[in-house]
Amino acid sequence: MGKRDVRRQVWSIGQPALTVLLTLFVAVFVVAPPAPSPNDVISAATTASATSGLPAASVGRSLVLPGQGTPGDLAPVAGPGMPAGDSRVVRLDIAGRERGYLLLPALGLAPGRTAALVVVLHQDVGSAQAVAEGLGLDSLRRKGVTLAYPAGVGGSWNAGSCCGVAMDQGVDDVAFVDAVLDDVGRRVPIDPKRRALVGYSGGGMLAYRVLCRAHPALAAVVEVSGSLEAHCPSTVVLPDLLSIHGAKDGTVGLTTPVHVTHLGMSPRPVTSTLALMTTQAACGKRTTDNRPGVRHVHWQGCRGGSTVDLQIVAGAGHGWESVHGAARAIPFLEARLLA
């Protein structure tokens, strides 16, 4: 057998093995995506925000409230880690549409005392139960704060130019939030001068829209990873406002817009939102304080005497836990609702 014949035989034997190796190479390095880093998971603009920043124990847990999905017969449910019967599902009729919210009353309130109220708006593609269990605000209840978690239609909110089913159907979510703010006081003792709103991501977008239209009196608002996506008049009067954002947010950009595929739009950047809100509210002097890990921007002398605060968290993404939402929101709320 000549040398040429030997080479042909070796090639005929080795070719199948080489084909298998090449196939495995393609499968591993082309078809299979690279493992994402924690920041990629938190900030990815193309992923639904339903589980963004929430503890793993809360992911996938979703009590369907009236108006959120298909209405059904709902029994009272227990609040996060609380005794059965401690919380309840409340039904409301808003312009002929059944809506609902999860009500968690303040704990240990002395007879004759009224509680403060915080209404919490979940993220886009989120649920009332998931944020009730996952945002870490429940500790406020033992300090005299009642919590209410409204449910968006299809897990979405109509914040103006965003988002989802609620926007497509023209749902009046501002009227719904206004109704919840007032309705809670008809069911449990609430001090109307100590009411606040917290909005996360898409819920933050709706919080801005609520602020820019007539609404029940609010002492404070916390917006986390949201943006202004609606008209805001030059006559707006703000309560004290805290805005919390990650410097590496891949959904709501800090200074430039980011296109979010699942929303089909580019949310207004943080600096643009705050510049517009503080201008429309006639805010005065702005100061900046760079502290380890976070930049604090403060506006004072806004119309009506309120203040606006922005916290930009270094290295953080879009998620609630990434920006340490509870640790930043709770002291702000306590100072304005419990002092």
Judge whether 42 lies within some domain. no
Judge whether 239 lies within some domain. yes
The domain total for the chain is 1
Judge whether 9 lies within some domain. no
Expressed as residue numbers, the domain containing 248 is 56-337
Task: Find all residues with CB under 8 Å of 179, minimum gap 6, and list them.
Answer: 92, 94, 99
**Residue 199 pLDDT greater than 50, yes or no:** yes
CB 288 within 8 A of CB 294: no
Sign of CA dihedral 62, 66, 69, 74: positive
Q: Higher-confidence residue: 49 or 309?
A: 309
Least confident of 157-161, 261-265, 308-312: 261-265
**Residue 62 pLDDT greater than 60, yes or no:** no
Q: How confident is the model at residue 11 (pLDDT cuts 50, 70, 90)?
A: very low
What is the Cβ-side half-sphere exposure of residue 125, based on CA atoms within 13 angstroms? 13
Q: What is the mean pLDDT of residues 192-204?
A: 98
Q: 272 is written with which tokens?
A: 């643009």
Collapsed DSSP state (helix, strand, coil) of residue 174: helix
Q: Higher-confidence residue: 233 or 72?
A: 233
**Residue 55 pLDDT greater than 80, yes or no:** no
Collapsed DSSP state (helix, strand, coil) of residue 263: coil
**Residue 49 pLDDT greater than 50, yes or no:** no
CATH of the domain at 247: 3.40.50.1820
Judge whether 273 lies within some domain. yes
Judge whether 151 lies within some domain. yes
Cα separation, 195 vs 218, whole angstroms: 5
Task: Give alpha helix (H) positions in the chain.
Answer: 3-26, 38-43, 128-134, 164-168, 173-187, 202-211, 270-280, 325-337
Task: Find all residues with CB under 8 Å of 72, minimum gap 6, and list them.
Answer: 64
CB 337 within 8 A of CB 145: yes
3-state helix/strand/coil string of 175-190: HHHHHHHHHHHHHCCE
Q: How confident is the model at residue 59 (pLDDT cuts 50, 70, 90)?
A: very low
Q: How confident is the model at residue 306 (pLDDT cuts 50, 70, 90)?
A: very high
Cα separation, 103 vs 132, whole angstroms: 10
Provide the pLDDT for residue 86. 73
Number of helices (H), then strands (E), belonging to the chain: the values are 8, 10
Q: How confident is the model at residue 71 (pLDDT cuts 50, 70, 90)?
A: very low
Collapsed DSSP state (helix, strand, coil) of residue 293: coil
| pTM given for the model | 0.80
Q: How confident is the model at residue 151 (pLDDT cuts 50, 70, 90)?
A: very high
Provide the pLDDT for residue 109. 87
Q: Higher-confidence residue: 63 or 86?
A: 86
Provide the pLDDT for residue 249. 97
Judge whether 63 lies within some domain. yes
Please state, rounded to an integer, the average pLDDT across all residues of the chain: 82
